[in-house]
Structure 1
């Protein structure tokens, strides 16, 4: 027996529309990712080696695609909201954050150097990676 849309009515056909279910599924994925990024950002607020703001930027981007209420909560947050709004509007990183990135990378490199006594190739690779990150950070507006 062949079943057509008329036998089920219009409501059933729209309930199984793949565009609707994909959209809901993607919103759910973005919501879960956003919550995970907020959790990582929260952990990063207490651990010096894990950054907070990049995870919150990612969380805000995920919430923009899944939950306007949670996106607004992040953008209006008393501590991180201005940083997130500045990033979103101008791609800006405050001077204080740039200096903290420089200091964190210097301390991280010192720990790497004295803690592992790396060879010249590994040292060069780590220096290039850190310098590329610093160049990007300092090239952003303040």
Structure 2
């Protein structure tokens, strides 16, 4: 019995985490410099462990569904999404350096973290759509 109780508690936790991340993702879509996609990917992961209904809702969403499906199925990002991510990272660093100074601890630590995220994003494959594959052949 304890296992089923832990399983139910885990599902409730994942469901709550999913909704918190959906709300943060919506806020990120409205506010500059706050990420959207990362929160929605976490929400998709949490929903996949707690509610098939909400997981499918997010996968089929008109605005965000394509990105979520691409990540879940191919672990890849569209080229446009990578460009936007790099621009957002650069803007974040620029804002931090402007506010605190380019050689402040905040800018230096932030710059190292941003560089790490940029390297990770650079290593994610670009999602190639089937129409693009036939055009290249």
Bin for the TM-score computed over the shorter chain: 0.7 to 0.9
In structure 1, list runs of 5 or more residues that go unmatched: 1-16
Q: Which residue of 2 aligns with 1:33?
A: 17
Q: Which residue of 2 aligns with 1:56?
A: 40
> Which stretch has the larger CA shift, 65-74 or 18-27?
18-27
Superposed counterparts of 1:70-81, under 5 Å: 70-81=54-65
SS in 2 for 1:45: helix
Number of equivalences: 126
Deviation, 1:63, is 0.6
Root-mean-square deviation (CA), in Å? 1.4
In structure 2, list runs of 5 or more residues that go unmatched: 127-137
Deviation, 1:119, is 3.0
> Which stretch has the larger CA shift, 103-112 or 43-52?
103-112
Deviation, 1:130, is 1.2
TM-score between the two structures when normalised by the length of structure 1: 0.82
Deviations 1:76-118 (A, max 9, x none): 1111111001101111111111111111122222211121115
**Does the aligned pair in 1 maintain the 2:33–2:91 contact within 8 Å?**
no
